[in-house]
C-alpha cells in the first residue's frame, strides 16, 4: 500500500509515519490489512533522518501549493491508496496573517482534493481538522458539552478554514472523487520540539519547557478549560479514521476525537506532581490578551459517542500524559521527575 502524508516532516506527520512503519500494514476503510510498501512524506523541510533512511520512505520537499500547481502527480500518484492531510498553518499564524491561512489551509486543501480527484482512483483521504471549528461567543454561546451533532461555530480564521476543509472533503466524498474522513483533533499536548505559532502552543510549552529547565509562558487564567488529546491518542484517531469501514464511520464526515477535559490550573498541578515546584516555579503567569481571546472561545468539554463506538479512548489523566512525554523524550527532560 502506498500512503501519502502531507506535513510529513512535522511532529504528528513523522510520528504517524513511524507508527505505520512499525505496524507494517494498514487496513483501508474496512478492507483486509495490506503491507505498507511506500510512504511519501510531503513537506517544506526534509524528513527526520531516521525516516529518510528507511527504504519505504519517499520524500517530496517543497511548498505544497506550488507542488500541486506544477506537478500534482508527485504528491498524489494513481498508486496512492490513503492520503493523510496534516499540512496546515496554525491558529495564531492565521489570525496574524490572513493570506497565509487562506493559502495554506484553504487553497492547499482544495488543490490536494483536486489532485486526488484527477488521480481517478478514489483514495481514502483523512483530513486533520480541529476543535477550533467550535467557537463560543456571548451572542451565540456554545452548549456546556459539545456533542457529535453540535454544529460548528468558528470564531477564528483558522477555525473557519478548517470548517471549509471539512465541507470540501464532504462534497468530494459525496461526488465519489475520494473516500473522505475529517478528524477533529483536540488540543495536542505534550508536543515535543520547539514552540510553534499556534495559539494553543503554550498548552505544550507550559509542560515541555519547565521539564527542560526553561521558563515558559502560561498566559491564561488557571480556570481556562481545555480538551486535551495526547500525541498517542491523536495518532490512534487518524489511523482509525483511515481503517474504519463506511458502515463503522457512518453518514457524518467529521469526527470529534476523544478528549480529556481539564483546566490550565489542573495541568500545572499535574506538572507539579510529576516534577515538583522546580518545574512549576518556571511558569510565567503574565497574561497575554491576544492568546486568551482566541483560547477562551474554544470548548473544553466534549461528548464523543461516535469515537467511542470506533474503539477510541481518551487519556485517563494529565499526569500520565506528562509521564508519557518524559518516557518518550528523555533527552529533552532536565529536571528530576517522579515515577
From the CB of residue 152, how many other CB atoms can be counted at a distance below 10 Å? 19
Q: Which of 109, 229, 218 is nearest to 158 (CA)?
A: 109
Q: In this structure, are strands 124-130 and 179-185 parallel, antiparallel, or unpaired?
A: parallel
Residue 118 cell numbers, joined:
484527477
Q: Between the CA atoms of 163, 103, 170 and 238, what dihedral angle is there, to the nearest 10 degrees?
A: -80
Output the CA angle 302-303-305, nearest 5 degrees: 140
Q: Which residue has the cell 470548517?
A: 163
Catalytic-labelled residue, pool 84, 158, 302, 325: 158
From the CB of residue 175, how many other CB atoms can be counted at a distance below 10 Å? 9
Q: In this structure, are strands 225-229 and 260-263 parallel, antiparallel, or unpaired?
A: antiparallel
Q: Which residue has the cell 495518532?
A: 235
Q: How far is it between the farthest Cα atoms of the chain?
A: 58
Question: With 0-12 CB in 10 A as exposed, 13-18 as middle and 19+ as buried, what is 25?
Answer: exposed
**Is 325 tagged catalytic?**
no
DSSP notation for 7-48: TTTSHHHHHHHHHHHHH-EE--TTSPPEE--EEEEEESSPPP
Q: Which of 73, 307, 45 is nearest to 193 (CA)?
A: 45
**Residues classed as catalytic:** 158
Amino acid at each position: 500500500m502506498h500512503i501519502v502524508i502531507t506535513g510529513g516532516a512535522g511532529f504528528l506527520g513523522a510520528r504517524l509515519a513511524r507508527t505505520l512503519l512499525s505496524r507494517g500494514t494498514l487496513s483501508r476503510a474496512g478492507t483486509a490489512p495490506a503491507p505498507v510498501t511506500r510512504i511519501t512524506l510531503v513537506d517544506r523541510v526534509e524528513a527526520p533522518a531516521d525516516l529518510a533512511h528507511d527504504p519505504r520512505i519517499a520524500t517530496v520537499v517543497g511548498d505544497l501549493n506550488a507542488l500541486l500547481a506544477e506537478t500534482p502527480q508527485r504528491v498524489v500518484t494513481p498508486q496512492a491508496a490513503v492520503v493523510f492531510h496534516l499540512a496546515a498553518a496554525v491558529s495564531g499564524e492565521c489570525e496574524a496573517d490572513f493570506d497565509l491561512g487562506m493559502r495554506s489551509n484553504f487553497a492547499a486543501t482544495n488543490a490536494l482534493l483536486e489532485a486526488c480527484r484527477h488521480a481517478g482512483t478514489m483514495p481514502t483521504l483523512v483530513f486533520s481538522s480541529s476543535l477550533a471549528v467550535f467557537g463560543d461567543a456571548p451572542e451565540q454561546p456554545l452548549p456546556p458539552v459539545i456533542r457529535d451533532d453540535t454544529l460548528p461555530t468558528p470564531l477564528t480564521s483558522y477555525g473557519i478554514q478548517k470548517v471549509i476543509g471539512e465541507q470540501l472533503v464532504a462534497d468530494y466524498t459525496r461526488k465519489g472523487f475520494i473516500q473522505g474522513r475529517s478528524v477533529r483533533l483536540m488540543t495536542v499536548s505534550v508536543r515535543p520540539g520547539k514552540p510553534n505559532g499556534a495559539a494553543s502552543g503554550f498548552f505544550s510549552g507550559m509542560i515541555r519547557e519547565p521539564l527542560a529547565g526553561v521558563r515558559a509562558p502560561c498566559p491564561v487564567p488557571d480556570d481556562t478549560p481545555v480538551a486535551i488529546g495526547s500525541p498517542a491518542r491523536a495518532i490512534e484517531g487518524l489511523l482509525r479514521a483511515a481503517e474504519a469501514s463506511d458502515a463503522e464511520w457512518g453518514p457524518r464526515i467529521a469526527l470529534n476525537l476523544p478528549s480529556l477535559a481539564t483546566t490550565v490550573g489542573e495541568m500545572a498541578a499535574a506538572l507539579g506532581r510529576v516534577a515538583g515546584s522546580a518545574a512549576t516555579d518556571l511558569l510565567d503567569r503574565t497574561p497575554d490578551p491576544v492568546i486568551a481571546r482566541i483560547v477562551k472561545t474554544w470548548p473544553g468539554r466534549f461528548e464523543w459517542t461516535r469515537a467511542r463506538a470506533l474503539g477510541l479512548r481518551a487519556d485517563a489523566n494529565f499526569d500520565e500524559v506528562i509521564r508519557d512525554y518524559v518516557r518518550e523524550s528523555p533527552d529533552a527532560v532536565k529536571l528530576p521527575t517522579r515515577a
